[in-house]
A and B are shown apart, each in its own frame.
Chain A
Amino acid sequence: MTDMGTYLYAITREEGRLSPEAGRLSPEGMAGVAGTPVRALRHSGLAAYVTTVPLDQFGEEPLRRSMEDLDWLGETARAHHHVVEAVAETAPTAPVRLMTVYSGDDQVHDLLDRRRDDFAAVLSRVAGRREWGVKAYVAQAPGPVSRSGGQVGQVGQVGQAEDGPAATRPGMAYLKRRHADLRSREEAQRQAVACGERINAVLMELAVAGRRHRPQDPRLSGRDEWMVLNGSYLVDDDRGGEFAALVHRLREEGMDVELSGPWAPYSFADVAGTTDSEVPGGVR
């Protein structure tokens, strides 16, 4: 009745197949998106972790609508992430983006055939490594008075900030204050960018590779401070502790740094070595 599709989560090497005693750790059988059971398609020396999904939910048109449903999206993203993580615990893994749906297993086989070398390259890049996320924040510049501050428009108050002429020349006082605001904001921005650069440089000494992503919107990060660094770092497994300790040290030095992970190498799994996907970091 309903058309079914094949939903792809992640790709690993086939030799990543687990020994029987580790079998209970296998992602196979665990619940994927919409509760569908995860299967492994083994082909061309690779294993693709998939589930079969109904296209009346995961077809292009239904998705267009349901992706706007934040609850549904959150739930599905967690399910996807869950499977990716489970796979990544067992073998070097190339995570696939959310909502990658094929018309059937054949199409996935075909993909594994055609992209085998690309996947092999990705997998060898991430093997024995995991991704750590580091975000750094800088408090918003304290000085600038914005309209949102509600301190504008009160001429008397403006005058007090200046020395003297404000009472007689409120217009000039206003412009000068604006001038100072803009200046200090620019300066704060420069410092923030420099701070992000510094932290990134320190982290890159330990990491095998790093990607800087667009700073998150405050509504997503849940923090009002400036995100001056939103980086992902590919770190050798045996240096993960060192990396975490390094971030911890930065924190102790007074930097506002957040560490997350380790993650499956989401940020380092682009096919065909397209390393140019790097997003310029820093503060806009």
Chain B
Amino acid sequence: MILLENIHKSFGALVVLKGISGRIPRGEVLAIVGPSGSGKSTLLRSINLLETPTSGKVFVDNVCINDKGVDIRKLRTKVGMVFQQFNLFPHMTTLENVIYAPLRVKKIKRKDAETLGKKLLEKVGLKDKAKTYPAHLSGGQKQRAAIARALAMEPEVILFDEPTSSLDPEMVKEVLDVIKSLAHTGITMVIVSHEMGFAREIADRIWFLDEGRLIEDSMSKTFFKAPKTKRAQSFLEKVL
């Protein structure tokens, strides 16, 4: 379970998050939506401390992770992340990308890591790309490899930061299908996305952010049928 308590974040004079609180139960699929610049990505990145909140508390499994003296690395092995720009390691093959962290952090045997890596690549439909370098993969393949890499650490939570925003339109579906296949398998998923149709289809719960505030926290069905706030109503009218 993830618990956010009054999260504020500023970059210099720019205030991005203005006191966000919320709760994400274990195994739930949450989509964070809202207009550009509303702080969605910053909020997501606070959950694994790629951004440190200026104030407020982030709890993962009842541990306040932005307390001093907390082992951030240990937390991060439990919280995987998939980036908009994939961020695969270009000097490693697809398989090496996937098994690097289990080898380095969990220190499992190479043979076991390769078995795990191949299984995950099969899961995301990249079985035949194990020895390919990222430069020779399409955008959709890169993102699927990046998902396999995040899964290799067997995280309890996966954060998706606009996972389809830099993809060509015809590659969006293959990535969304992979993400869909992970939903409701016990893993908690937090997705920042502009794909409203996808959010509607996959998410249990929607957080609607506007100007750094969480102004609506609804179950997905309620949100898309009858948003409570005017701001969300007009947003949905524009994007749906």
Task: Answer yes or no: are A and B bound together in one complex.
Answer: no
| B residues with CB within 8 A of A | none
A residues engaging B (CB < 8 A)? Answer: none
